[in-house]
Amino acid sequence: MYRVKIHVTLKKSVMDPQGATIQSALESLGYQGVQNVRMGKYVELDLAQKDRGGAEKQIDEMCDRLLSNPVIEKYAYDLEELK
């Protein structure tokens, strides 16, 4: 069993008005030096798979088909084995 933590983010080439708005909000609160704010999504799930390779294969497939839209988004994930 694995705990999977998936981050889905917009590709660099895709406009991110949410990120820009958050950045200007942080600036208006007086925080200095905040740059390149990008808003993304976080998905956490547990996966009943015996080995890491099988888990990664399934996660890649799930991300490509549903959890991200490859036209506009990319994803990255961490795997943690649950004892």
Partner 1 sequence: MKWGIVTFPGSNCDYDCHYVLKDVLKEDAVYLWHKDRDLKGCDVIVLPGGFSYGDYLRCGAIARFAPVMEEIVRFAKNGGIVLGICNGFQILTEAGLLPGALIRNKSLQFICRDVHLKVENRDSLFTRCIGKGVIRAPIAHGEGCYHADDDLLERIEGEGCVAFRYSSPDGRVIEEENPNGARNNIAGILSFDRRVLGMMPHPERCCEPILNNTDGLSIFLSIADKSRG
Contact between 48 and partner 1 by CB under 8 A: the answer reads: no
Contact between 24 and partner 1 by CB under 8 A: the answer reads: no
Candidate list 37, 67, 74, 79; residue touching partner 1; CB under 8 A: 67
Contact between 37 and partner 1 by CB under 8 A: the answer reads: no
Contact between 71 and partner 1 by CB under 8 A: the answer reads: yes
User: Would you say how long the chain is, in residues?
Assistant: 83
In whole angstroms, give the CA distance from residue 7 to residue 34: 21
The secondary structure of residue 69, as a DSSP letter, is -
> Nearest to residue 74, comparing CAs of 20, 25, 6, 21?
6
CB of 52 to partner 1, least distance (A): 26
